[in-house]
Amino acid sequence: MDVAIIGCGYVGLVTGTCLAAIGHTVKGVEKDPRKLKTLQDGHCPIFEPGLQELLNENYASGQIQFTGNVKDAVRDAEVVFLCVGTPPKPDGTVDMSFLEGAGKEVCDALAEMNSEYLVTIVVKSTVPAGTNRKLYNFLREQTKAHVQVVSNPEFLKEGTAVQDCMNPDRIVIGGESPEAFRMMRRLYDPLIKREDNFMTMNWESAELTKYAANSMLAARISFMNEMTILCEFYGADVEDIRKGIGSDNRIGPAFLRAGCGYGGSCFPKDVAAMEHISKAAGYENLFTNAIQTVNKNQKKRFVDKIEAKLGRPIAGATIAVWGLAFKADTDDIRESAALDVIQYLLDKGATVRAHDYKGMEHMKQVFKDQVEWCTDPVTAAAGADAVALTTDWPQYTTLPFRKIAATMNQPMIFDGRNCLHRDVMRENGFQYFPMGRPP
């Protein structure tokens, strides 16, 4: 099928490349001239495992192309994906300006086409309930084109986005047109392993499914993070509790890993948006409120613990922060736990030396020369009074710990992701402090 993707950011580029890989002809629209040039040179502007390779194959074969012009892409398309950002405004409400702009441009393109064939507009962006219905009404008023709108929320995770996109555990389509549902079924056919993985529902249910999924996942993490307080007080092990409850198939094991707080461009934004959607519906959402409060407190608690255990005043101490990205396998630092952890450390007067495998350049823009930037974790730890591990890069688990301990002022490590082995750390001379686990 002929597919247009409006917005080649994270979701748009992964979706477009994967749709090209399963045989569709894709035109991606990118308005940022620098990003467009990068894409037209065949390069991926973001770091995502496997994406550059998939792009290479499909760009070389012409299966995916890039343009700066919406009309160029929409002209032949049967399916038009809107994949523009819906970032939070300072008050936490959703900024819809990019989506509205893209909707208008697509509408203008459709008005010129007057196509008798159905064009399905697919809203992939995460949007408040009611948005798809409004877009549909707007398009019906403004154009004579045979057009339908469906909501198709995205569930891919950074770091495994290509894999998630090629092996979706469900495809959710919201709308009210059986014809558009059939079109989406045909589009996604090669990715549908079981018929019940393809779900159709009304617009509002699909829109809220996205917020509910991210809020539920964030709630699980915040719940386990809150458990770390009890575990540390009573001497329990949050990892044992994770296994103990995760083996109950009503609960399941995923997204129960405690740590120094969740981050990223999605959970914080979507939980905040859910709170505002609730306010708009006339009530205060106590649940999303609690998820966010626990997450904020967890990062503070992590630094308070460092201060309490350090054995010397934190003001003037040197802390090495390992991990700046909001999780491993990405260079994305948006809402990363390290942002708050570093800020709290600086506020307390500590000297911070930081390292990350991919996110360092972005973090430099935030803290500039307030932090010493280190090209490897060993250098970051040399002479430090403690290491604070904030991102679960697997590389941090196989470092030469004995050598590191010997170069530190005091070999102390605070594992904010519970990814190191207590015995290994102890054997190598470290005082080891995980989250919600006995030291």
334 is in an annotated binding site: yes
In what side-by-side order are the strands of the sheet with 351-355?
Answer: 372-373, 351-355, 318-322, 386-389, 412-415, 431-433
Q: Is 156 annotated as a binding residue?
A: yes
Q: What share of the chain is helix, strand, coil (3-state, %, to 5)?
A: 50, 15, 40
H or E element in which residue 419 lies: none
Binding mask 270-309 for ligand UGA (x = CB under 6 A): ----------------------------------------
Buried b or exposed e, range 27-45, using 16+ CB within 10 angstroms:
bbbbbeeebbebbeeeebb
Single out the segment in contact with ligand UGA by CB under 6 A; choices: 60-68, 92-100, 129-137, 154-162: 154-162
Contact between 134 and ligand UGA by CB under 6 A: the answer reads no
- Measured from the CB atom, is 105 or 270 closer to ligand UGA? 270
Q: How far is the CB of 409 from ligand UGA (least distance, A)?
A: 29
Judged by CB under 6 A, the chain residues 218 through 247 that form the site for ligand UGA are 221
Catalytic status, residue 266: yes
The CA distance from 77 to 5, in Å, is 9
- The amino acid at 14: V
Beta carbons within 10 angstroms of residue 62's beta carbon = 9
Q: From CA 72, how far away is CA 120, in angstroms rounded?
A: 16
- How far apart are CB 400 and ligand UGA at their closest, in Å? 25
Q: Does 422 bind ligand UGA (CB under 6 A)?
A: no
Region from 47-55, 192-200, 226-234, 254-262 binding ligand UGA, contact rule CB under 6 A: 254-262
3-class DSSP state for residue 18? helix
In order of 292, 342, 371, the CA distances from 436 in angstroms are 19, 21, 28
Token pair listed for 245: 């409850």
Residue 364 annotated in ligand binding: no
Of the residues 16, 128, 264, 359, which one makes contact with ligand UGA according to CB under 6 A: 264
What are the C-alpha distances in Å from 59 to residues 21, 39, 96, 304? Answer: 10, 9, 31, 50
How far from 133 is each of 123, 280, 358, CA to CA, in Å? 11, 17, 40
Closer by beta carbon to ligand UGA, 131 or else 428 = 131
210 is in an annotated binding site: yes
d(CA 250, CA 30): 43
Q: Which two tokens stand for residue 146?
A: 């045979």
Which range in 42-50, 111-119, 153-161, 344-352 contacts ligand UGA by CB under 6 A? 153-161
For residues 221 and 425, which CB has a smaller minimum distance to ligand UGA in the complex?
Answer: 221
Consult the annotation and say whether 67 binds a ligand.
no
175-194: contacts with ligand UGA (CB under 6 A): none
Q: Is 233 annotated as a binding residue?
A: no
Tell whether 124 is in a known binding site. Answer: no
Distance CA(314)–CA(306), nearest Å, equals 8
Q: What is the size of the binding site for ligand UGA (CB under 6 A)?
A: 19
The answer to the question of whether 198 is labelled as a binding residue is no
The answer to whether 156 contacts ligand UGA (rule: CB under 6 A) is yes
Q: How far apart are CA 203 and CA 151, in angstroms?
A: 6
Site string for ligand UGA, 310-339 (x = CB under 6 A): ----------------xx------------
Catalytic residue chosen out of the listed positions 8, 107, 266, 374: 266
User: 277: buried, middle or exposed (CB in 10 Å: 19+, 13-18, 0-12)?
Assistant: buried
Name which position in 30, 48, 105, 154 contacts ligand UGA (CB under 6 A).
Answer: 154
Q: Is 252 annotated as a binding residue?
A: no
Minimal distance in Å, beta carbon 11 to ligand UGA?
A: 7
3-state class (DSSP) for residue 379: helix
Q: Which residues are annotated as a binding site for substrate?
A: 155-158, 210, 255-259, 263, 327
Which residues contact ligand UGA (rule: CB under 6 A)?
154-158, 214, 217, 221, 255-257, 259, 262-264, 266-267, 326-327
Q: Give catalytic residues, as residue numbers.
A: 266
Q: Which residues are annotated as a binding site?
A: 35, 86, 126, 155-158, 210, 255-259, 263, 269, 327, 334
